[in-house]
């Protein structure tokens, strides 16, 4: 059984489009459980109808024609209940609906299994039989397992753009039904799609139209010749290996010489696809043939074909990067967008980003927010392959995107965009105004940064200091640990630029999702592993050098504050403080100059630190709450995992309570509290932070004017009433609605949706 399942999944993953995937499924299922009919019904997202998409057993003409209303018939019942329905005499069931065009009057037995992905019912897998029989438990469980796998495979194929479902075809053809994702960064953009893909991922290669097909064929043939030479070279270098190990290269050579692989790709190029797209199609076709073979040895050859495809692709890409140009209004799209892909686009050309994976807390979203451009993340059914050179509207408020929008929709979004930019211009005027509530409560605004390039522009946005300088960034861009002098130079620039305003330098916070290429850490649970202060205290050599560099950089400026990340225990605070004092003492002795002892604070990012806030606050000078990690650890939700992204919410009542407790605990000991996570720039959350009495907020500098706008339009008194109401609420959803309504009523609705 397991083998059948595995083979089916392999075959499905090599399929080129939805039709092909489904026809493989219905054929194989029918064979495996020896039944008369197997069909797949999928939900058309446009009207929620269940459409017969593939069948082996019913009349083939019925495919695409049989459509049931959302909860109509037995298929509707399966979807409604989201559980299997197993009947030995289906026609007797009150929900049975007869479709003459399928020729199904002859079938008595019916087993329907829902196909569910991320909690959404996508349709049903149905088997039928002439004989009256109840399908056995093993058959039901097999189909359940299969349907669970199948839903993932469909979603994956959709994400890689090789499939278009019913709704997708309509949405791609133009019109105003959006592709829905997660709101990664707010704003509206109208521009042209540019699909990029990670170097070594053949699946993510999009289709792209070319006119100069001769040049494309030439590029492809050159790439093949280069790979052939590479193979010959490799083979000659491996003379010492046994013949069977070298045979793999013979197989590659044979494939490279096989006319079909080359010819078919060339044909596809001649039909107008660019070489990488044509190559992807051919490799998939060939790999699928092997994947479907009974013989396990031959099946493995599918992998060789894909490997070969990758080699040719990487040769083609060398050429591609050289000629890449980006249109003025680039909307950058990828299956899995990375910050480095964004960096390749000239700053002035990049107006929005879209990624099939990721969420609002991925680094791509954080970067987009920092750059002030909209981002839509985690669009499961994003047909990346077909979005090149296409006009797209991105609504980063709602997490929607519209492909080939209608004239009316375009008009509406152009209006919203105009209002957006006039709002931004209005906000710029707030730059030199203080962040003070209507009743006089002043809340300083600091910037989060890690790039020297950002520092000056932070001042331009009205930052009154740097609330979080992520020192790992200077570590990441080197190929070894930076020395004391190198670090001191970087820190000095930041401290000098802002002096006498305060700067909070965070000690090295690697581990989790941030690794250094020259200091690899491999762990099963990196977010629960060797991270932040744990590494610093286990490797005091690294920590001491960093502290020396910080103290040296601050000489004569007196605006240095040191932040300790990922504190879980009181002992960590005590030990870190001891090391800092030691460095200070040694430097005083060495230099005989006046070196101020910096203020040292603790980041509250772990639940244990929330519960021990008083013990911690007693041992440091200030507190800074890192809500990005605090939300992740408090709610047990990985901040980078799209599947659980909907659960990641800083307005969860538990988070609100934790933040409130930290503020109260620290204030009881007269220690100031700041927030340096993304919560500080969420307009709804800001209302609560005002009420709680935070002493400063730190965020990406581009968000400062918006947050200031919120602060300047509310009285602390009003926000305190809101906090009291919210503390009685049970869910993040209710809290957000309540706070958004307050923002709307105060005339600040444009911060939470498109338009003024």
Q: Residue numbers of the site for ligand PEP (CB under 6 A)?
A: 468, 470, 509, 605, 626-629, 676-677
Least Å from the CB of residue 654 to ligand PEP: 16
- Is 363 a known active-site residue? yes
Nearer to Mg ion, 420 or 629 (CB): 629
Least Å from the CB of residue 603 to ligand PEP: 7
**DSSP code, position 29:** H
Binding flag, residue 678, Mg ion (CB under 5 A): no
Binding flag, residue 472, Mg ion (CB under 5 A): no
Quick check: helix, strand or coil at residue 752? coil
End-to-end CA distance of the chain: 58
Least Å from the CB of residue 626 to Mg ion: 4
Nearer to Mg ion, 360 or 626 (CB): 626
Nearer to ligand PEP, 185 or 403 (CB): 185
Rounded (10°) CA dihedral 668, 672, 678, 684: 60
Q: H helices of 242-334, where?
A: 243-257, 259-270, 275-291, 296-323
Nearer to Mg ion, 46 or 537 (CB): 537
Figure out which of the listed residues 20, 380, 381, 629 binds Mg ion, where binding follows CB under 5 A: 629
* Integer Cα distance of 294 and 496 in angstroms: 69
* Integer Cα distance of 266 and 279 in angstroms: 9
620, 650, 676, 718: the active-site residue: 676
Candidates 37-45, 101-109, 494-502, 597-605; binding stretch for Mg ion (CB under 5 A): 597-605
Least Å from the CB of residue 699 to Mg ion: 14
In 10 A of CB 578, how many CB atoms?
Answer: 9
Nearer to Mg ion, 482 or 532 (CB): 532
Quick check: helix, strand or coil at residue 27? helix
Phi/psi for 123 (5° steps) reads 155, -155
* Integer Cα distance of 602 and 567 in angstroms: 7
Least Å from the CB of residue 370 to ligand PEP: 12
Which of Mg ion, ligand PEP, none does residue 677 bind (CB under 5 to 8 Å by kind)? ligand PEP
Least Å from the CB of residue 521 to ligand PEP: 16
Instruction: Give 661's contacts (C-beta < 8 A, 6+ positions apart).
Output: 610, 613
Nearer to ligand PEP, 330 or 627 (CB): 627
Q: Are 402 and 181 in contact (CB under 8 A)?
A: no
Nearer to ligand PEP, 38 or 463 (CB): 463
Kindly identify the residues of this chain, within the stretch 692-721, that bind Mg ion according to CB under 5 A: none
Quick check: helix, strand or coil at residue 208? coil
Least Å from the CB of residue 664 to ligand PEP: 20
Closest to 437 (Cα-Cα) out of 689, 726, 659: 689
Q: Are 85 and 101 in contact (CB under 8 A)?
A: no
Closest to 532 (Cα-Cα) out of 588, 584, 604: 604
Helices and strands, counts by H and E, the chain: 27, 22
- Is 652 a known active-site residue? no
363, 584, 667, 738: the active-site residue: 363
* Integer Cα distance of 389 and 192 in angstroms: 6
| Residues at the site binding Mg ion, with contacts judged by CB under 5 A | 605, 626, 629
Active-site positions read 363, 676
């Amino acid at each position: 059984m397991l083998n059948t399942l595995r083979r089916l999944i392999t075959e499905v993953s090599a399929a080129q489009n939805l039709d092909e995937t489904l026809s493989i499924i219905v054929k194989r299922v029918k064979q495996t459980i020896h039944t008369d009919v197997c069909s797949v019904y999928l939900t058309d997202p446009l009207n929620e109808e269940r459409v017969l998409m593939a069948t082996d057993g019913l009349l083939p003409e019925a495919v695409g024609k049989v459509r049931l209303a959302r909860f109509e018939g037995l298929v509707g019942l399966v979807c409604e209940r989201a559980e299997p329905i197993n009947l030995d005499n289906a026609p007797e069931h009150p929900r049975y609906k007869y479709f003459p065009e399928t020729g199904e009057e002859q079938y008595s037995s019916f087993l329907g299994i829902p196909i569910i992905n991320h909690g959404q019912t996508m349709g049903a897998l149905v088997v039928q039989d002439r004989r009256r029989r109840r399908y056995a438990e093993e058959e039901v469980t097999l189909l359940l397992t299969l349907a669970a796998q199948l839903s993932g495979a469909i979603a994956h194929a959709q994400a890689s753009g090789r499939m278009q479902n019913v709704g997708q075809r309509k949405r791609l053809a133009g019109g105003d039904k959006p592709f829905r994702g997660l709101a990664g960064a707010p704003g509206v953009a109208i521009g042209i799609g540019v699909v990029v893909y990670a170097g070594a991922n053949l699946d993510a290669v999009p289709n792209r139209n070319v006119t100069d097909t001769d040049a494309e064929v030439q590029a492809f043939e050159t790439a093949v010749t280069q790979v052939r030479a590479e193979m010959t070279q490799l083979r000659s270098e491996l003379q010492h290996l046994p013949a069977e190990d070298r045979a793999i290269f013979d197989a590659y050579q044979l494939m490279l010489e096989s006319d079909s692989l080359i010819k078919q790709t060339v044909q596809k190029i001649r039909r107008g696809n660019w070489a990488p797209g044509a190559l992807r199609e051919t490799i998939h076709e060939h790999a699928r043939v092997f994947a479907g073979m009974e013989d396990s040895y031959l099946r493995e050859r599918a992998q060789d074909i894909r490997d070969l495809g990758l080699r040719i692709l990487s040769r083609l890409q060398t050429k591609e990067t050289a000629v890449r140009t980006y249109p003025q209004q680039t909307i950058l799209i990828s299956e899995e967008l990375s910050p480095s892909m964004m960096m390749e686009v000239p700053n002035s050309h990049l107006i929005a980003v879209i990624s099939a994976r990721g969420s609002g807390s991925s680094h791509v979203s954080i970067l987009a927010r920092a750059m002030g451009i909209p981002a839509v993340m985690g669009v499961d059914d994003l047909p990346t392959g077909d979005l090149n050179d296409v006009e797209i509207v991105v609504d980063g408020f709602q997490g929607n995107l519209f492909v080939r929008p209608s004239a009316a929709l375009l008009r509406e979004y152009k209006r919203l965009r105009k209002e957006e930019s006039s709002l931004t211009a209005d906000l710029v005027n707030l730059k030199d105004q203080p962040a003070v509530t209507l009743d006089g409560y002043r809340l300083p605004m600091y910037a989060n940064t890690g790039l020297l390039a950002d520092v000056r522009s932070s001042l331009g946005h009205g930052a009154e200091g740097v609330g979080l300088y992520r020192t790992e960034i200077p570590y990441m861009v080197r190929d070894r640990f930076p020395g004391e002098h190198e670090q001191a130079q970087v820190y000095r620039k930041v401290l000098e630029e802002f002096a006498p305003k305060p700067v909070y330098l965070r000690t090295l916070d690697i581990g989790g999702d941030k690794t250094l290429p020259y200091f690899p850490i491999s762990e099963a649970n990196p977010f629960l592993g060797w991270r932040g202060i744990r590494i610093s205290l286990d490797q005091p050599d690294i920590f001491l050098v960093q502290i020396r560099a910080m103290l040296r950089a601050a000489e004569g400026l007196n605006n240095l504050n040191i932040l300790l990340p990922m504190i879980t225990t009181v002992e960590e605070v005590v030990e870190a403080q001891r090391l800092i004092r030691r460095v200070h003492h040694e430097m005083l002795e060495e230099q005989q100059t006046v070196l101020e002892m910096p203020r040292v604070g603790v980041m509250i990012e772990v639940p244990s630190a929330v519960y021990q806030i008083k013990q911690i606050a007693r041992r440091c000078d200030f507190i800074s709450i890192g809500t990005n990690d605090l939300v992740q650890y408090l709610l047990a939700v990985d901040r980078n995992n799209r599947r659980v992204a909907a659960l990641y919410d800083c307005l969860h009542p538990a988070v609100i309570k934790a933040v409130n407790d930290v503020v109260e605990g620290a204030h009881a000991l007269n220690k100031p509290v700041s927030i340096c996570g993304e919560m500080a720039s969420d307009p709804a959350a800001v209302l609560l932070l005002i009420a709680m009495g935070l002493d400063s907020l730190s965020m990406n500098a581009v968000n400062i004017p918006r947050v200031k706008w919120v602060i300047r339009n509310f009285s602390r008194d009003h926000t305190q009433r809101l906090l009291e109401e919210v503390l009685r609420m049970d869910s993040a959803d209710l809290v957000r609605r309540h706070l958004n309504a307050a923002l709307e009523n105060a005339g600040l609705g444009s911060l939470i949706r498109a338009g003024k």
